Structure formats: structure tokens, C-alpha cells
Amino acid sequence: MYSRLGTLEWPMLKKLEMESCESLEILASKLDKTVERPIFLCYKSLQAAIPSLEILNLFLKVEEIQYLLGALSSLKTLIVENCPLLLNLFSFDLIKRLKSLEDLTVKKCDLLQGLFDLNGHDHGEGECVGLLSKLKQLNLIELPELKSICNNNPTHVLCFRNMKSVEVKQCYRFTHLFSSSMALGLERLQKLCIEHCDMVEDIVTAGEGVPEEITFPQITRVSFLKLAKLTSFYLSHTPEQIHTGESNTAHGVLFNEKVSFPGLEDLDISNLDTVEKIWHDEFIADSFGKLKRLSVVSGQKTLRLIPYSMLKKL
């Protein structure tokens, strides 16, 4: 932003918006020379220049923003929108630095392939690592090349322990949202909305150390709209078990006996073309007992809406 030699500092700056700065090379630096890597190279200078920044909105044509985000450890809200060249967002090292991040929105980044990269993490035996422990809200909107929230989720890594709201819309390459180990950490999740994700087959997919049951104790609202391939919220079996016929979990049942929502109040379902039943004939005893509102629209294969055992609870 400034090309002259000097020290630039904004110690009280809380919010920064950057849009269409296609020629920007240095945001804050003590250097008076051209840099090879475009935009935000001067990591240490940024730490000193904007130490209190909490809200950052980016609308930029850049391929990476690691250098900028890595310097902003106090960042609480990040909005990344209309960054058409961005391929990857958070490396594992960057995730560890963003300890204060509470609200993340990523929208209309046409080439984005990686969100949270957990590959390459070295850990000691028995060590358990907590990441993104303050993140409360995650919004992913119109990301046509993004396949998953995390590219890997080892059982020793605990993510999203304080997550309260997740919205995923028009992410056409997602096949699932969470691994089973990740879902076990979503104890504070209150709102889950997924819309127009054509390839989603299940919300939680089985992984290492597959749990028999998963409970979401604080969820009050669930919305699944236009998920053409969704068959079940959680199938507690691996692809190998499906192939060998070892799984006895029914397909086409949205909420089977393996998942529990004791606090759910509001449920919206629309255009789930492969779902045959909303509820399994048998489900966890304390699940769905607080449901106040149910909306079901246009399910091509839905044969039975509410089983008799469910009617007694409503």
C-alpha cells in the first residue's frame, strides 16, 4: 500500500477489507524494494503493523493468502469471497496459528480445492491435538471444486470443539461433511444446514475407530434441501464392510438407530430423492423428543413419513 521506506503501524485497527487490489505486492513492510512473490510477503512486518486485527474481508485475485493469514493470530472473523485463483486456504501450520478464529465464511472461490489441510502432521504416540477450538461458525457457499471440509482427519486430532453453526450450500463435489471421529467432537453444534450439494451421500462417513452411535446433544435445527444422492445421515460402516456384506444398517433411512438428536426442534427436508424413510423403526430412546416443527417436501422415494413409535413421542 505504501512504497516508501518507513515503518507503518495500525495498532488499533480491528477490521480490514481488501477488494480488487490486483497490483498490490506489499501491504506493510520496512523494505523498499520489489518482492518476487506477489502480495503479503512481509510476515513479521504485518505482525507488528496490525497486531489487533480481528475482522478481515478478502476479495482478491491471488493464488494463496497463507502469508497474510499466518501473521494475524488475533483474527476472529475471516471472509474470503470471490477469490477465483485461490487453490488452498489453510495449511496445518496456519491452522495452528489461528487460535482466535471464531467465524469463517468462504464464498464463490471457483478453484478452491483445499480448506483445512491436516496432512503431514507428526504426533507422538497417545498425543491428542486440539485445533480450531474457538471456531463457532462455518459457512461454505458456491465452492464447486471443494470436496471436503478436511482432507484428512486423524483420530488424534480434535477439531471444531466449539462449533455452533455449519452451513454448506452449492458445494457440488462434497460426498460427505464429517468423518465419524470429527463428528464426535461436535458436541456444541446447534445448527446444521446443507443445500444444493448434488453429490452428498451421507453427512457423517465412517472412518477409523467407527463409533456405533453418535449423539448431537445441542442441535436444535437441521435443514437438508435438494440433496439428490443423500441416503442416510450416518452409516456406521466402512466401504469394505459394504462390499463384503458385513453391514446390517438399512440404506435409504435418513435417521437410523445409530444417530441421536435429543434437542432437535426444527427439521426441514426437501428433495431428498433417494431417501425412503425419515426415521428407522427403532431409534435411540431420547432422540427427537423435543421436535416442534417438521417440513418435508418432494421426496421421490419417501414411502413412510412418521413411524408409529415416533408418533408416541411427538
Q: For 188-246, how does the pLDDT look when each residue is reduced to its tens digit (9 = 90+)?
A: 999 999 999 999 999 998 866 667 788 999 999 999 999 999 999 998 765 555 545 55
Beta bridge partners of 214: 259
Beta bridge partners of 279: 255
Choice between 297 and 130, residue whose per-residue pLDDT is larger: 297
Give CA–CA dist 260/215, Å, rounded.
Answer: 5
For range 264-278, the mean pLDDT? 91
Question: What is the Cα gyration radius of the chain?
Answer: 22
Residue with cell 469463517: 104
Give percent of the chain with pLDDT exceeding 90: 33
Asked if residue 38 has pLDDT above 70, the reply is: no
Read off the C-alpha cell for 121: 502432521
Average pLDDT, the chain: 78
Separation of first and last alpha carbons in the chain: 60
Q: pLDDT band for position 83 (50/70/90)? A: confident
CA dihedral 17, 20, 26, 27 (to 10 degrees): -10
Q: pLDDT band for position 6 (50/70/90)? A: very low
For range 58-75, the mean pLDDT? 74
pLDDT (0 to 100) of residue 95: 85
Give CA–CA dist 208/265, Å, rounded.
Answer: 31
Asked if residue 85 has pLDDT above 60, the reply is: yes
DSSP symbols for 81-111:
ES-TT--EEE-HHHHHH-TT--EEEEE--TT
pLDDT (0 to 100) of residue 160: 87
Residues near 26 by Cβ (< 8 Å), separated by ≥ 6? Answer: 1, 2, 3, 35, 39, 40, 41, 42
Asked if residue 313 has pLDDT above 90, the reply is: no
Whole-prediction pTM value? Answer: 0.84
Choice between 125 and 218, residue whose per-residue pLDDT is larger: 218
Residues near 77 by Cβ (< 8 Å), separated by ≥ 6? Answer: 54, 55, 56, 101, 102, 103, 104
**What is residue 200's three-state secondary structure?**
coil
